[in-house]
């Protein structure tokens, strides 16, 4: 069974940093792109960032480019999101999701983890 488990969320002050992790199991981790998607309280879904299977290619939403860094450790089946200079508007539940298969053509997110809550407040 494919499982994704996020961790690392919490309460931080504006301007501080936080590193999220997503532990993956049940599939060949390095064969799939991975994404982070966030959801502010009471709001819709927002794609944040994606990384290719090898980690060589990374992509970001305009809202976080230059502030967040996505990475992965394929030896530990773990995805990361380093979030710097956090703003109040970054407050959200952050989900990791399994993405496109390397060499595949379909593009979708399945499955999703349960999410980890990041709260940015003074």
Residue 117 as a binder of other proteins (CB under 8 A): the answer is no
The number of residues that bind other proteins (CB under 8 A) is 22
Query: Which of 45, 67 has the CB closer to other proteins?
Result: 45
- Least distance (Å) between residue 75 CB and other proteins: 25
Query: Per-residue contact track with other proteins, 21 to 60, x per CB under 8 A?
Result: --------------x-x------xxxx--x--------xx
Among 1, 56, 66, 106, binds other proteins (CB under 8 A): 106
Residue 46 burial by Cβ neighbours in a 10 Å radius (0-12, 13-18, 19+): middle
């Amino acid at each position: 069974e494919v499982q994704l488990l996020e961790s690392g969320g919490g309460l931080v002050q504006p301007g501080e940093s936080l590193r999220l992790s997503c532990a993956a199991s049940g599939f060949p981790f390095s064969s799939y792109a991975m994404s982070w998607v966030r959801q502010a309280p009471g709001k819709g879904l927002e794609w944040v960032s994606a990384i290719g299977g090898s980690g060589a290619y990374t992509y970001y939403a305009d809202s976080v480019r230059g502030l967040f860094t996505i990475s992965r450790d394929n030896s530990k089946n773990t995805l990361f999101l380093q979030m710097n200079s956090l703003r109040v508007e970054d407050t959200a539940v952050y989900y990791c999701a399994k993405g496109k298969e390397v060499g595949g053509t379909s593009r979708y997110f399945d499955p999703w983890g349960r999410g980890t809550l990041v709260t940015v407040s003074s």
